[in-house]
Structure 1
Amino acid sequence: MVTQERGLATRRMILEAAGSVFAERGYSATTVADVLKKLSLTRGAVYFHFSSKEELARAVLASQADVPTVVRDIKLQELIDLGLVFACQLTRDPLLQGSVRLSLELEAVGLDRRLPFQGWVDRNHHILEQARAQGELRPHVDLVETAELLCSCFTGVQLFSQVMTGWVDLEARIRALLKHVLPNIAEPSVLLQLDLSPDRGLKVGAELGALAGLKEAAGQEGPEGC
């Protein structure tokens, strides 16, 4: 068990270092040697977990699926909170920053950059399916179309925020996006119950932090707060 935990910790450390380098240099300009410079590991230790730069980049791309969420009774609130948590983590998590840069880098030849986008579409679609089952959505809403729209709009908003402010205003821009989208998909009675207040991200972050503390006390790995 200790050996397995150490292996998982080493893998995570490698991914975080790689994410940081990819975020700074991009895929084409990054080498495994660049990642090694950030680690007190041998090349063999890195290659034990990842056989190539391509495999390492794919793992960094896939890390977007690890963005945590809090299960809500109102599924549209869960969708809101997921977006705000992503915005919060993107400003401070080098691994997530590296994943986002790789997903947007046109020069990343050989990488399937569709992976994180499809992952977000699937995740959005799942939550929207639950929302429909609970009567939260207006009748005209197309689930696939809406899931893809949310993903594409979110991508544009975070890219715009990065260029303009270095993601300082990302959470505010995400809330602005959702304020325009939600009235078109949510039943009016549900819309009135949704919380898009400026401090919502902080509240969800604190909630995730508390959950992480409980899981850590129980010997489990839990989501980090913002």
Structure 2
Amino acid sequence: MVKQERAIRTRKAILAAAAKIFEERGYRAATISEILSAAGVTKGALYFHFSSKEELAQGILHEQDQWLPIPDRACKIQQIADTVLLHAYRLQHDPLVRAGVRLSLDQQAEEVDRRGPFTHWGDIIGDLLAKAQAQGEVLPHVSTPETADVLVGAFAGVQAMSQIMSDYQDLLARVSALLRHLLPSTVLPSVLAAVDITPGRAGIIATELRPSPENTANGRPTVRAD
């Protein structure tokens, strides 16, 4: 049990160090030596968990899929807004998430399969849109796969612009503006009137999803918001 816990801590330390280096340097320029130095582990420890730099990058991309989802909301459009706003909040606060996003958009990471995050978020948003459609929350013309694809692509562009312009400081405001522009073409006005898409909503969700001591003690996956 002690060995297993130590292995888990080592793996997390390696991923955190790799995330920092990938975010700062980009995939191509990052080196295993830099990651080893930042993680404070031996080469043998690193290669026990990850066989290559490519596998390390895939580990970071995969890690984003392990967060607990937003709890079910009665209004599925609110659940979509909460999902998008929380991801923006994580980008501001979690280096692992920022590294994953940078990797997914890094055109020099040619050997890394970068489709996963886009597919993952497209599936999440598409599923919620389908549920919203079944509940009569969206306009009749809406194609849920197409709308999900547009929202994921638009978010990718907005976060990239925010990173360049303000190092993510204005990301929540930009994402709120994105939702204000996209949702009216998708959602029934009567439903949209009750949906909170303000930047402050993100902090409320993050507080709601902070892990309880019981979840942490049981080793269950948790949402890390700070």
- Scaled by the length of structure 2, the TM-score of the pair is 0.92
Distance across 1 between alignment mates of 2:212 and 2:30: 33
Task: Note the 1:165-180 alignment, pairs <5 A.
Answer: 165-180=166-181
AA of the residue aligned to 2:178 = L
Partner of 2:104: 103
For 1:143-182, what per-residue CA distance to the aligned partner results, in whole angstroms no more than 9, with x for missing partners?
1101110011001100111111111010010000001111
Partner of 2:161: 160
Partner of 2:199: 198
Asked if structure 2 preserves the Cα contact closer than 8 Å seen for 1:157 and 1:173, the reply is yes
State the SS of the aligned residue for 1:139: coil
State the SS of the aligned residue for 1:176: helix
AA of the residue aligned to 1:7 = A
State the SS of the aligned residue for 2:123: helix
Task: Note the 1:78-93 alignment, pairs <5 A.
Answer: 78-93=79-94
AA of the residue aligned to 2:79 = E
Give unpaired runs (5+ residues) of structure 1.
none
- How far apart are residue 200 of structure 1 and its match? 0.7
Distance across 2 between alignment mates of 1:220 and 1:113: 27
Distance across 2 between alignment mates of 1:164 and 1:212: 36
Partner of 2:65: 65
Asked if 1:181 is matched to 2:179, the reply is no
Alignment RMSD: 1.7
AA of the residue aligned to 1:112 = D
Asked if structure 1 preserves the Cα contact closer than 8 Å seen for 2:89 and 2:225, the reply is no
Distance across 1 between alignment mates of 2:214 and 2:139: 37
- How far apart are residue 3 of structure 1 and its match? 3.3
Distance across 1 between alignment mates of 2:7 and 2:130: 37
Asked if structure 1 preserves the Cα contact closer than 8 Å seen for 2:93 and 2:225, the reply is no
State the SS of the aligned residue for 2:39: coil
Q: Percent identity?
A: 44
AA of the residue aligned to 1:8 = I
Distance across 2 between alignment mates of 1:2 and 1:73: 42
Give unpaired runs (5+ residues) of structure 2.
none
Partner of 1:216: 216
Asked if structure 1 preserves the Cα contact closer than 8 Å seen for 2:68 and 2:221, the reply is no
- How far apart are residue 7 of structure 1 and its match? 2.3
Partner of 2:137: 136
Moved more, 130-139 or 3-12: 3-12
Asked if 1:150 is matched to 2:117, the reply is no
State the SS of the aligned residue for 2:222: coil
- How far apart are residue 112 of structure 1 and its match? 1.6
State the SS of the aligned residue for 1:38: helix
- How far apart are residue 34 of structure 1 and its match? 1.1
Partner of 1:44: 44
AA of the residue aligned to 2:171 = L
- How far apart are residue 196 of structure 1 and its match? 1.6
Asked if 1:54 is matched to 2:54, the reply is yes
Q: Cα 1:217–1:58, aligned 2, differ >3 Å: closer, same or farther?
A: closer
AA of the residue aligned to 1:54 = E
Distance across 2 between alignment mates of 1:8 and 1:166: 31
Distance across 1 between alignment mates of 2:81 and 2:127: 14
- Scaled by the length of structure 1, the TM-score of the pair is 0.92
Distance across 2 between alignment mates of 1:2 and 1:75: 42
- How far apart are residue 183 of structure 1 and its match? 1.1
